[in-house]
Amino acid sequence: MITEKACAKLNISLDVSKPRPDGYHDMIMVMQAVSLCDDIEIEINSSGKVFAKSNLKYIPSDEKNLAVKAAGLYFEALDNRSAGAVISIRKAIPVGAGMAGGSTDAAAVIRALNRYYGNALSPEELLKVAERTGSDVPFCVLGGTALAEGRGEILTSLPEIPECTFVICKPEFSISTPELFKALDRIKLRSHPDTAGIISALENGDLKQICRRLYNVFEDVPDRRMRTVTEIKQKLLSGGAEGAVMTGTGSAVFGIFTDAEEAYAVCSQLEKDYGFCVCAEPVGKQI
């Protein structure tokens, strides 16, 4: 039995270009791995088949589950046709929250299998398997703090974010990613994140300057649900957060706190108000 933690990701910033000819959008994102995580257990067998089990009934058990797809692609990269696996996933990361829940389970499977096979693939080869699995998977394999560009596969590790506490709140609704991209194509963006400013604030270890620059262009989409996002951000800020922003395509929103006690107090209030709220810490690089 192999075990691995699958850490959630948060977007410190998220910028999107106009759609490319292939329909995809180029992204520029500063990403952060955090301690909120799913637990993965893998039993390797020689059936040549991979399937997943989860504590949540609606999580797919076949190739639609990114963790299953990742294992298949990892075995293919090793040219091992007889290898099979049963992947057990205990979900703690809310589904459809913009925290890369499925991608991080896939990434944990890739890292865990490589450990089991004695680091048969180099970090570069692991990132290739990750890229074939899905857009956010390379960052989730790498972890820490990183700049992600292109579809998310062009990664540059950045200095670790200074010590802080994240308060992550997910309202009950989810927001569909394709729907939000379509809505974004119909509007002219008011503004863009100061990505260079965030990178230099990370280099200077200046948390306040990072927090001043939290920005996600998806918050500009005219959608009724963004009112709840704004409301949660306001509650985080009035509870002492240095900054607050929506992650990915939502619906989760997080605030960054320097005072852990303030963070825990706001967290318990927001859990009562919205159903899901947890505190988490930054997590460093994984490979």
Q: Report the interface residues with ligand ATP, using CB under 6 A.
A: 59-60, 64-67, 89, 95-103, 105, 136, 177, 248-249
Backbone dihedral angles phi then psi of residue 96, each to the nearest 5 degrees: 65, 40
Minimum separation from the CB atom of position 149 to ligand ATP (A) = 16
Measured from the CB of residue 203, what is the shortest distance to ligand ATP in angstroms? 26
Closer residue to ligand ATP (CB): 15 or 136: 136
- Whether 233 is catalytic is no
Cα 207 from Cα 202, distance rounded (Å)? 7
User: Has 39 been annotated as catalytic?
Assistant: no
Q: Which of 9, 69, 233, 235 is catalytic?
A: 9
Residue closer to ligand ATP (CB basis): 65 or 114: 65
| Smallest gap from residue 108 Cβ to ligand ATP (A) | 10
Residue 49 or 212 having the CB closest to ligand ATP: 49
C-alpha 99/C-alpha 97 separation (Å) is 5
Contact 220, 190 (CB under 8 A): yes
- Strand, helix or coil for residue 168: strand
- Which helix (H) or strand (E) segment is 41 a member of? strand 25-45
DSSP label at residue 253: E
Task: Pick between residue 57 and residue 272 the one whose CB is nearest to ligand ATP.
Answer: 57
CB of 169 to ligand ATP, least distance (A): 14
Least distance in Å: CB of 215 to ligand ATP? 17
Contacts of the segment 73-78: beta carbons below 8 A, 24+ positions apart = 73/129, 73/132, 73/133, 74/109, 74/110, 74/113, 74/114, 74/121, 74/129, 75/50, 75/113, 77/121, 77/125, 77/128, 77/129, 78/117, 78/120, 78/121
- 69, 136, 170, 233: the catalytic one is 136
Pairing of β 145-150 and β 215-216: unpaired
Taking the least distance from each CB to ligand ATP, the nearer of 31 and 279 is: 31
Q: Are 128 and 244 in contact (CB under 8 A)?
A: no
Token pair in block for residue 103: 């991608």
Active site amino acids: 9, 136
